[in-house]
Amino acid sequence: MSRERPKRGTLPPAQENIEKLEKVVEEGNYYGAQQMYKSISARYVSAQRYSEALDLLQSGACNQLKHGQVTCGAELAALFVDTLVKGRFPYDDEILARVRKIYKEFPRIPVPQQLGDLDDMQQLSETLGAAKTCVEGCSSFLKAALKWSAEFGATRVGAPEIHVMLANYIYFESPEVDMVRVSHHFIRGNNPKEFASTLVNFMGKCYPGEDDLAIARAILMYLSLGNLRDANNLMDEIKKQVESKQLDFPQSDLIQFISFLLQTLLRDALPLFNMLRAKYKSSLDREPTFHELLDEIAEKFYGVRRRNPLQGMGMFGEIFKMMGGE
């Protein structure tokens, strides 16, 4: 933990302010409470009493979120992370638990399923707006926490547990699901089983033809990081969950390619890898980023250097380089 100066001056123990401000929130004076949370926590930070500032900000964020004050809660949550950085708190299980506690207070807003009259449309619009606000606030908080964790002791890309939290919130709470963003965070997480559950859930509500794309994208993203183990674990877990729920596993040329690819990468077989890419090119063309991911996979598993996009441009490529384009 960071070193802190002894308590001094007129600042009381943080718990006194926590109890006082809880009453202000309970009375419904959310704006007044917000200003006091911010000003009082800033005084603790100025006195380098970082632990007490964290206690106050965590309490404030949770209280505001419990009362549906998402913008206020998200602001205090962001200040909580900012104080972690200022106090140079190392990443550990205790701080992770505190981040998770704030995360769990962000509202989950159900979208109305049946719409009939104008009032329903008005309600839908308001609900979607509230959901968007929640996702933006929670995402900002967790992204800041990821940056802090990467700087103060977790992995280079941030704590895997926080990536899983962010992936889950984006998937289940976003008005419009972005599976690329969801997958981006899950593959940097540490829970392929939970990722599989999310993909199976997506398969049950996506448009025809999106299910195999989502599975293939997830596998290729894992492999582009050199993570063959979790790519295989994910595929096995999806098949297991689909079978247990008596659902149909997608059958397509793209899924066939993924199955062959996972077997190919177990051995030194670059010619077979290239042959598969050529044979299934039309399936891979369904999503242009698949080719980029496969280039990264070739580099990770077979040492194939990625082609410089300026190669083949001749004189124009050289001019571009001289102008600082590389």
Condensed to tens digits (0 to 9), the pLDDT of residues 125-179 reads 888 888 899 999 999 999 999 999 999 987 899 999 999 999 999 999 998 889 9
In which region does residue 303 sit, left (phi positive, over 0), alpha (psi from -120 to 50) or beta (all else)? left
Residue appearing with tokens 């077989």: 269
* Cα distance between the two ends of the chain: 42
Predicted confidence at residue 175, as pLDDT, reads: 87
Query: pLDDT per residue over 255-276, tens digit each?
Result: 999 999 999 999 999 999 999 9
Domains identified in the chain and CATH numbers: 190-325 (1.25.40.10)
Looking at residue 98, its amino acid is R
Interior/surface letters 280-305, b for 16+ CB within 10 angstroms, e for the rest: beebbeebeebeebbbbbbebbeeee
Confidence (pLDDT) at 19: 95
- DSSP output for 272-283: HHHHHHHHTHHH
pLDDT above 50 for 3: no
Angle between helical axes of 192-203 and 179-186 (0-180°, round to 10): 160
Half-sphere exposure of 254 (CA within 13 A, CB side): 22
CA distance 321 to 318: 5
Q: What is the mean pLDDT of residues 89-112?
A: 93
